[in-house]
Chain A
Amino acid sequence: MRAEVAIVGAGPAGIFAARAAARKAQVLVLDDNIRPGGQIWRRNPFLTTLPGNVTLKTGVRVLGPWQERSLLLETPDGPTILEYDRLILATGARELFLPFKGWTLPNVIGAGALQALIKEGWNIRGKRIVIAGTGPLLLAVASLARKQGGKVLGILEQAPAKQVLAFACQTALYPSKAAQAIKLGSGAFAIYRTNAFVVEAIGKDRLAAVAYQIGEKKYQVDCDIAAVGYGLVPNNELAATLGCETRDGYVLVDNEQRTTVANLFAAGEITGIGGTEKSMIEGEIAGLCSTGQPADHHWRRRNRSWQFVKLLEESFRLSPALKKLATDDTILCRCEDVSFGEVNRYQNWRLAKLQRRIGMGPCQGRVCGPAFSFLCGNGVSGSERASVRPPVFATHLENLIPKENL
């Protein structure tokens, strides 16, 4: 395979990059999910339309760099090589999961996961749902769950009321976000609690109830689904294997969305968690600049979207109280069943990994790595996953030997 501009990720950043780059070049967009749209535009054919000279391939995973300006791909038809002139990374973010007692029970999932699965057709009609964690995503998930007939029993936000309120006031300055906030907020007001978090998931083979805390008070409620997500962490693994410099886990870019590696651009959540608008504008800039088109007229809008990154970060900073949720026998690494007690004496991820196999299973530390940094490390989730080596994703051995003319 060959592309003048290759884009990894078909979410808002990738889609906008593709549209912009397609004005000047032949473009290939890859995504590992079964449909384009990323998380926010999942199953939204209208928002994900692409011009004719863009090829979209879904179900394709980038396993890592191959040679100079080429990548090894795992495709539904087998492994193959992609050669590119310019590469734009729009790999997005994943949820931060913080372990608590019983969080490994089936039907305890991420907040974003609930949103994604409802969009894919999970029938939650009549199901009793508790939504918890942090950030504006919780409201969006609650709204969608209700619309699909779920009974949302509560929305538990870990941040204190005054921070959330300050966030709401600041958000009102962004016209598009304000309308959305009013729509989501008004329906959720009665069941939204701040300074609140899930303490324990209770059940035998699957979830039956959750214990939660609001301030110092403890409660328990029967439920079918607990959707818990503590914000987002960047999917920076591919960027790391390509040699991009990062800060606190985020890929460093300049005004033109160029990373520290030549011919390599990055856009969207991997440069900083800021939501759809930031992703769209950064994608557009990356698409323009990767094909020699001017983009300076977009800088103001992009810089403005960065204020929202800082606002999100400050408003929904994780409370230190969340560090006490995992007890010694709470599983931290779900792939290898490593408990928190086994690794909490190590301050260093690599040491914990070598001694206890944490992060050595199929997800390669994508779930437990950021949690480990928060719980045991320097407190910044996702900031200290040391070395990432290809393959970027666990894969079958046969996928390491590419077929020639695919």
Chain B
Amino acid sequence: MKQILINGNPQEIEEGASLLVVLLNKGFHAQRLSVSGAHRSGICGMGICFECRVTVDRKVVRACQTVCHEGMEVWTDAR
């Protein structure tokens, strides 16, 4: 098991897991806030909708197209 930081808290993950799946399995039902502040979560699971975007190591990425790696720093609820 490897560790990553989600919103500052250490979380155990499986190496190579999809970040969106990790977030969903850990109860982060929403990954971002919409321009009017509503909770949103990915709807396509395949890199199309951009609704699962999160900040990883200070870069905005699509969680569904991001592979988890040791020590990664993830922040949800970016706008």
Chain A residues within CB distance 8 Å of chain B: 32-34, 39, 59, 94-95, 97, 104-110, 112-114, 116-117, 120-123, 205-206, 235, 334-337, 361-363, 366-367, 394, 396
Taking A116-B45, A335-B50 as known contacts, 16 extra A-B pairs with beta carbons closer than 8 A to each other, sorted by chain A number, are: A59-B65, A105-B39, A107-B29, A109-B41, A110-B44, A113-B42, A116-B64, A121-B17, A121-B21, A123-B25, A206-B29, A206-B39, A334-B51, A336-B35, A362-B50, A367-B48
Contacts of B72 in A (CB 8 A): none
Assess the A337–B21 pair: CB atoms within 8 A: no
Q: State whether the Cβ of B66 lies closer than 8 Å to any Cβ in chain A.
A: yes
Assess the A94–B30 pair: CB atoms within 8 A: no
Closest A residue to B36 using CB positions = A337
Closest A residue to B51 using CB positions = A334
Q: Closest CB of chain B to A130's CB: distance in Å?
A: 15
Assess the A113–B39 pair: CB atoms within 8 A: no
Interface residues of B in 25-52 (CB under 8 A from A): 25, 29-30, 34-36, 38-51
Assess the B50–A39 pair: CB atoms within 8 A: no
Q: Closest CB of chain B to A101's CB: distance in Å?
A: 14
Q: A104-B34, A122-B24, A122-B25 are in contact. Are A32 and B65 (CB under 8 A)?
A: yes
Q: Closest CB of chain B to A129's CB: distance in Å?
A: 13
Closest A residue to B25 using CB positions = A123
State A394–B41 Cα separation when bound (angstroms).
18
Q: A334-B51, A337-B34, A337-B35 are in contact. Are A113 and B46 (CB under 8 A)?
A: yes
Chain B residues within CB distance 8 Å of chain A: 14, 17-18, 20-21, 24-25, 29-30, 34-36, 38-51, 53, 59, 64-67
Q: Closest CB of chain B to A87's CB: distance in Å?
A: 20
Contacts of B14 in A (CB 8 A): 121
Contacts of B24 in A (CB 8 A): 117, 122
State A126–B11 Cα separation when bound (angstroms).
23
Q: Which residue of B25, B39, B45, B46 contacts A106 across the interface (Cβ within 8 Å)?
A: B39
Contacts of A205 in B (CB 8 A): 29-30, 39
Contacts of A59 in B (CB 8 A): 65, 67
Assess the B50–A122 pair: CB atoms within 8 A: no
Contacts of A109 in B (CB 8 A): 41-45
Assess the B41–A106 pair: CB atoms within 8 A: yes
State A121–B67 Cα separation when bound (angstroms).
13
State A78–B24 Cα separation when bound (angstroms).
28
Contacts of A110 in B (CB 8 A): 43-45
Assess the A367–B43 pair: CB atoms within 8 A: yes
State A94–B47 Cα separation when bound (angstroms).
10
Q: Which residue of A33, A337, A366, A396 contacts B49 across the interface (Cβ within 8 Å)?
A: A366
Contacts of A396 in B (CB 8 A): 59
17 pairs, A vs B, C-beta closer than 8 Å: A34-B65, A39-B46, A110-B45, A113-B44, A113-B45, A114-B45, A205-B29, A206-B29, A206-B41, A334-B40, A337-B35, A337-B36, A337-B38, A363-B48, A367-B43, A367-B44, A367-B48
Assess the A33–B65 pair: CB atoms within 8 A: yes
Contacts of A104 in B (CB 8 A): 34, 38, 40
State A303–B40 Cα separation when bound (angstroms).
42
Q: Which residue of A113, A121, A235, A336 contacts B43 across the interface (Cβ within 8 Å)?
A: A113
Q: Closest CB of chain B to A400's CB: distance in Å?
A: 15
Closest B residue to A363 using CB positions = B50
Q: Closest CB of chain A to B9's CB: distance in Å?
A: 19
State A363–B47 Cα separation when bound (angstroms).
9
